[in-house]
Structure 1
Amino acid sequence: MRIVIIDYGAGNVQSVMFALKRLGFKAKLSSNEEEIRRADKVIFPGVGHAKSAMCQLMEQRLDLLIPQLKQPVLGVCLGMQLMCNFSEEGETKCLGIFDLDVLKFKEGNKIPKIGWNNISDLKTPLFNKVEEGEFMYFVHSYYVPLAKETIAQADYGGCYSSAINKNNFYGCQFHPEKSGDAGEQILKNFLEL
């Protein structure tokens, strides 16, 4: 199986590669259009600021490529947010794969939200063998509201999307690669889609 992790300078790629290695899979880090198109599975990680990450995607023309991909694609953390229409972080126009906006957590919540939170209302085979209420590791200041694309939710001063899905595109707000056995099960499920 050809697994490509998109390399655009804003990803927490090493922990993703190590998690895949623990599962017995080898992934290639690439920004090459042909390599990404030929992959069986694509992982789109992200850490940092939405606006600068989008600038890096645009510089490499990955903003044009990613929405065209036909194989399963998993966006992680900022990667998930960048697949939406718009982010309040830097008033950023994103990739528009999901017709959703990314909003800043309201005052009263400690921001950024860092740590473990349980996920619920799990849908799609992405969550096969994952227990309802399982804990995942989150680090974020912005969130995607609940929508028809929501396949898991979490609560932080109100419920929001902890995972979304549309066609071949999946997104996790949490870091499956840092979420122990349950997170690795989600990565395994993604690779088996």
Structure 2
Amino acid sequence: MKTIGLSGFAPLCLFPTVEKGVLWPDQLIDNPYNMVKGVAFRVRKILDSICPDKLVIAKSGTYAINDKLTIIMDIESFDRLCDKIHSARISAAEKQYLYEKALSIYRGDMLPNYESEIWLIAWIGYYQIKYLEILKEYLKLLQETEQYSKIFEVVSNVLSIGYADGEIYEVLIETLLKQNKLEMAKSYYMRVEKFLTTEQRRNFISSWNDYIK
């Protein structure tokens, strides 16, 4: 059984239809087989970076997903967990568990080194937004339950991915202040100030003044 990363999703969408009239509806193609072969080569090259086995194989004169592999795409797992999180029938403890599970799956943008592919840009943006939405919901839950050490752990993991989001930085700094880690809060503020809005900077200064009184 192979678990394919978030990067494994979008390319597979190319393969349900390989007829020239579907892939290139507005073009006259002299040699459609060679064109499809070229597409298959590119997709194979991309998918080789996320799976040691061949995901796309030549079969009966065409190309197909390797049916000898049982593929679990973590992008699907991520989507399912996000759906469960918003179910009204789960407890707060279950919701926290699902948040942690979903966030642990996401490890960055889809298909690193291929971000410039036009067909991939929309998918990258979609999952960036979805991830950040889930993350901010979880941080709000942790703030409400005063799980400050957990907030620091979660945000540290986010920073390792490399996303610069003022709201997340603001939560981290506020958490450090509440833990009376003033110098660390100040250090983080100096590092991320450029990502903060004017209002967020004012909030920090106000909170800082309250804590040093």
Q: TM-score range by the shorter chain?
A: under 0.3
Report the TM-score when normalising by structure 1.
0.28
**Structure with bigger RCO (C-alpha 8 Å, 6+ apart):** 1
Report the TM-score when normalising by structure 2.
0.26
Q: Report which of the two structures shows the higher radius of gyration computed on alpha carbons.
A: 2
